[in-house]
Structure 1
Amino acid sequence: MTAATSFLVGLIGEGITASLTPPMHEREGRHLGFEYDYRTLDLLELGRAPGDVGALLAECRDAGYAALNVTHPCKQLVIPFLDELDPAAEHMGAVNLVLIRDGRFLGHNTDWTGFRSAVLAGLPDAPRDRIVQFGSGGAGSATAYALLTLGVAHLVIVDVLPERAQALVDRYAPLFPAQEVVAGTPQTLGSDLATADGVVHATPTGMKEHPGLPFDVTALAATAWVADIVYRPIDTELLAAARRRGHQVLDGGRMAVGQAADSIRLITGREPDAERMRAHFLELLGDDAALSAAATGGRA
C-alpha cells in the first residue's frame, strides 16, 4: 500500500483564526486521499506587518509548504514577490492563492472563479444582461470580473467611494470593450435598480458586525435576482428581504465554497466535490451559529 501524498497549506491574513477555510480544505483533502494539513498564519497573532508577506512566503517555502491562500490585507501586497502571475489575477491586480513549485511562487485568483461557478450553479437560468453591483473593493473586483466573463452586457458598479468604483471601471472597461461597464451615481441608481436583471452585493453590510441593508429591495423589478457575498450569517438581511418579495437569491456560501474548491484543484491536481464541500460548509456554519448562541446565552 502506497503512502498518501501530503500537502502543507497555509492562509495568510489578519483576524483569520476563525476562518472556515482550514476545515473545508482538510476534510476535502482527506476525501481525495491526501494527508492535508492547513494552517492559519494570522499576522496579528504573529506580530507581523502586512508588508512582511514576502518574507512569510520565503519562510513557508523553506518550511515545505505547497501553497498559501492569501486574504486581507495582502492580496495586492503579495504580487511583487511572485515569480509568475495568472492572467486573470494580473487583470484584477489581486491574488488569493500562491502555489509553490520548485521554489517559485505562482499567483492565482480563485475568488472570481468561485463566484462565477456560484452563479452558474445557483442561478443557472437567470438573465444576466443588466446587472448592478454594490461594492468595488477586493471582493467586488472579483465578482465584477466574473460577471463580465459571463457575458453581462451592462454592468453598473456602485460604491460609497465613487472614485473607487470609477477606478474599477477604468481597469475593466478596456479588457471587455464589447460590454458596458460604468460607475453608478445617486441620480441614476433608482432607474438602474428598476431595470436590472440582477443585483450583486459585495460589501460588508449584512455581516454580524455590520448589520443592515445595502439598498432598498422594493426598488427592484419583480423578476430581478439578488446575490450576496456575505455568508456569516448565510441568510443575510438582504437575502431574507429579497426572498420575502419573491426574488430568486444566491447566498455567499457558494462563492466561499467555490473559491476553496478551485484552490484545492490547483493545489492537488484533483477534482474536489463542490456539493460535498458545500454540505460540509453549511455544517460548519451550523456549528458556528450554535457556538455563538451558547456564548450569548442563546441570544441571536
Structure 2
Amino acid sequence: MAIITISRQFGSQGEAVAEVLAEATGYTLLNKRTLEGLITEKHVPDIRLEWINESSPRRMEELEEKRVQYIEFLKVTISELAEKKHIFMLGRGCQFLFQAYENAVHFRVIAPLEIRAGNIQRRFGVDKATALRLINEKDAERNDYNFYFHRGDWNDPELYNLTLNTGTSSLAETAGIILYFLRERDVLTPCEYEDIKSEVVPLLDQKLRDIADGTFQRKVLKGKDGPPVFANESEEEFARILDYYKIEYLYEPTTFPLRWDSEGNIESAFAPDFYFPDFDLYIELTTMKQQLVTKKNRKLRELRKLYPHVNIKLFYRRDYHKLLKKFGIDKG
C-alpha cells in the first residue's frame, strides 16, 4: 500500500487538503491527533507527546537514545498501518523516513508569505504583524524538528515528488493535482480517480466553511438566552454591583486564542470575565492569593503581545475587596 506524505508550510492550508483527500479516498489520515492516540494506545512511555507536535527538545545531547526510539516508533507504526491500507501522513518529517520506500510519494504544500499571513489573519483574528510572527515561529520549530529528528533540511526540493503552491492554485486544484499524480502512480484506478475527484470540491467547500465557522472573531459578542452562569461567587457579586448601577456588560463574550499546535488547532486560549462595550474594556477578575496568579498574569502577557489593541485589565484580590468595601459589602 502507498504512503503519501504531505509536508506543509504553516498557513498554506495543506492540512485542509490532506484531511479532505483522506475523507474522499477513505485512506487513513495520520496527523497529530491520530498519532497521539496511537502512542497512548500502544503505551509507549519513552515517546514524548510534544514531539508529535513537531517540536524538538532543548537539551538534545541527553536524548539521542529517545530520538532513535521515536523515529523507530514512527517508521514501524506507519509501515504496519500501510500493510493494510493506503496512508496520508501529514508532516512529522516522514518524507525523510520513507524516502527510499518504493510505494511512497511525497508532496509539499507551500504558499507566498502574504497568502499565508492572510490565511492566518482570517482564521485566528490576529493582525498582520502577529500572523507573520506566528509564521516565523512555526517555520523555525519545523526547521529545528526536522534537523534534530531526521538530520535534514525539509526545504530541500529533492525530497518531494511535487511541490504545490496554494497561492497560485486553488485548494481544489491542489487536491486535484495530487489525485492525478496518484492515478498515474497506479495508487488510484481511472474509475476511482473520476469518482473521488467529483467529491473533492464539495468536501473542500464544507471544510472551508467549518474553518470559517470556527474562526476567532474578536468583536463578535456572544448572545445569551438567559442570565449568565458565573464561575464563582466573586464574579456573581461583581455582576450584581454592575447591574445595580446599570453598567452594561457581557460575561465571557470572547475567547482569545494564545497558542496553536503544528496543525493550527488552538492549544491555549483566554476568555476574560467581563466586557464593557461602552468602554471597549475587558476585565479579568481574580480573587486568588497573589502568589497563585502567576499563570493568569502569563496568559495576560501573551494576550497583550498577540492582540496589542485589546484593552484589558486584571482586577486583583485587593482591588476586588476595596470595591466591596466601598459598596458596604464586608467579606472579612
For the aligned pair, the TM-score class normalised by the smaller chain equals 0.3 to 0.5
Larger helix percent: 2
TM-score normalised by length of structure 1: 0.35
Larger strand percent: 1
Higher relative contact order (CA 8 A, sep 6+): 2
